[in-house]
Chain A
């Protein structure tokens, strides 16, 4: 009853709100204990902090496989109108990639990376970039500490562009190995852009997308040429 966005009393249709973020400390990390489980019924967003992630220097240590938000549907409309029409689609694709990464890591653990297809290796590379270049955020870095919506969108979009174009055109059609894509300078830089590009400079990320696309196209041509030469040899 106490959290909420309201039209206040008084003239003029004034809007005001109380938003609540409450930490819970379930003993032994057991989320089924009464306080946490009851709290989960009532809250809309869940940001579980993970000591293992923190230990491995991933901050903020929000466990992306266990987190959730019941507000995604409703805020998606706002994002689609104010940031980009494909915000939701991009976000869902990122979640899919991260979920699939967790599954593939199990396979790798048992059978090794050699058991993976090029597409699967490529997905792992994309997941790595999502984690290093997007989820991780340095609270002590003046450029990285706070990201406004346009910068957030474009950082993620670049990684998804790499994932999609790399997967479909380069690997699938072009026969380019995942490792070659991963080694492109434009791709490696995706992990660092969050610290290089300020919020107000997000348009540079739009330009960067073209650079990224070009570099993948060049790589595809390179492999095409190599194959052609090998054929005529």
Chain B
């Protein structure tokens, strides 16, 4: 995959128009001298419209745009739990800035802030042996990531064919996520499997079969469970105006529902809202074990200096991580607060693209995006 260079032609808030030949739809690109994160959301010949996930103040036409040849992806593997990330999975330091808001300086890319720790060594418990036949999705081994969650390492869906296990890393050692923990001989060659892999956030992760929602997800909240139940695998909307106790409701759901893992995605309305909600979640205790709730959680939060466009990335990032744990055989509960911010982001981006010198109108994709996210039964 080539990584070409282009240049900025026009800037309008979070949207940048660039001359970027060969760009692919939803390709991850780095914009300007600072190398801001962006996604290509529309292509017109050699021109690309880019949704930038960081403040574009100070960007100038003529500055470079670098292609990565890859889509925005989640980095999935041990070390993902008990973490707070921004919408493009940069880990937030728990040392906030002076105004007590989660903050990431602009231009921090994955090299400076890798989503996963590549130095940490994990205990590895293999579940397959040499000679076993494995197919995509099989559990190769487990890593006791936290006292609350056993991280199951699958033969990941980035590979399309199974095969026979040729090598399994012995359990006496401890391994980083980048060490090879298994080798599988397939008809397309030898696959060296590691504990981590990348998955494009806009692509739903594959599964064998989708089941109708028949079992309730017990939340422990009587009004919900008895009057307006939610099914495992279902979706609920919570309109929650200011002063309605939404934060407490969301916290109760996170702590007491019977879902094994919880994934809050915080897109606050005001800069402080996400920070406050975050502070609250970090302190929660898992009622069944007394351990920190963070040990069965990953939080995605919009930082105060990220523009509205970043909210869309947050939602997709959160749902991809949730699917990743679903694939391991867990019940994952994603709580997005609030999706209205996401839709506003989409509206603003569409508006700005529409304002730019362009021949075609911009399609109304809001309902489609929402449907993709929720799944209608």
Shortest CB distance A105–B (Å): 19
Q: Does A20 reach chain B (CB closer than 8 Å)? A: yes
Q: Find the B residue at minimum CB distance from A77.
A: B214
Contacts of B245 in A (CB 8 A): 49, 54, 59-61
Contacts of B343 in A (CB 8 A): 34-35
Known: A20-B336, A69-B230. A74 touches B374 (CB 8 A): no
Known: A2-B319, A24-B338. A51 touches B242 (CB 8 A): yes
Known: A40-B237, A94-B226, A148-B218. A19 touches B370 (CB 8 A): no
Known: A10-B139, A38-B370. A21 touches B214 (CB 8 A): no
> What does DSSP make chain B's interface, helix, strand, loop or mixed?
mixed
Q: Does A156 reach chain B (CB closer than 8 Å)? A: yes
Q: Does B312 reach chain A (CB closer than 8 Å)? A: no
- Do the beta carbons of B138 and A44 come within 8 Å of each other? no
Assembled-state Cα–Cα distance A40/B339 (Å):
12
Q: Does A8 reach chain B (CB closer than 8 Å)? A: yes
Known: A6-B210, A39-B339. A152 touches B225 (CB 8 A): yes
Scan B353-377; emit 1 where CB is below 8 A from any A CB, else 0.
Answer: 0000000000000110011111111
Contacts of A152 in B (CB 8 A): 222, 225-226
Q: Does A36 reach chain B (CB closer than 8 Å)? A: yes
Task: Identify the stretch in B24-32, B68-76, B320-328 within 8 Å (CB) of chain A at 4 or more residues.
Answer: B320-328
From B135, B137, B220, B237, give the contact of A22 (CB < 8 A): B237
Q: Does B136 reach chain A (CB closer than 8 Å)? A: yes
- Do the beta carbons of A74 and B207 come within 8 Å of each other? no
Shortest CB distance B240–A (Å): 4
Scan A188-231; emit 1 where CB is below 8 A from any B CB, else 0.
Answer: 00000010000000000000000000000000000000000000
Q: How many residues of B contact A (CB 8 A)?
A: 91
- Do the beta carbons of B208 and A147 come within 8 Å of each other? no
Q: Does B333 reach chain A (CB closer than 8 Å)? A: yes
Known: A25-B338, A62-B223. A45 touches B236 (CB 8 A): yes
Assembled-state Cα–Cα distance A54/B245 (Å):
7
- Do the beta carbons of B287 and A47 come within 8 Å of each other? no
Q: Does A116 reach chain B (CB closer than 8 Å)? A: no
Contacts of A10 in B (CB 8 A): 135-139, 154-155
Assembled-state Cα–Cα distance A75/B217 (Å):
9
Q: Does B252 reach chain A (CB closer than 8 Å)? A: yes
- Do the beta carbons of A45 and B211 come within 8 Å of each other? no
Task: Identify the stretch in A106-114, A134-142, A176-184 within 8 Å (CB) of chain B at 4 or more residues.
Answer: A134-142
Shortest CB distance A43–B (Å): 4
Q: A10-B154, A72-B228 are in contact. List 12 more A-B contacts (CB 8 A).
A: A2-B319, A2-B322, A9-B208, A17-B233, A20-B373, A21-B250, A35-B343, A59-B248, A60-B252, A78-B215, A146-B221, A147-B221
Which residues of B are at the interface with A, using a C-beta cutoff of 8 A? 135-139, 154-155, 157, 204, 206-218, 220-246, 248-253, 256, 259, 269, 287, 319, 322-323, 325-341, 343-344, 366-367, 370-377
Which residues of A are at the interface with B, using a C-beta cutoff of 8 A? 1-11, 14-26, 29, 31, 34-36, 38-51, 53-55, 59-62, 64, 67-72, 74-75, 77-79, 91, 94-95, 134-135, 137, 139, 145-149, 152-153, 155-156, 194
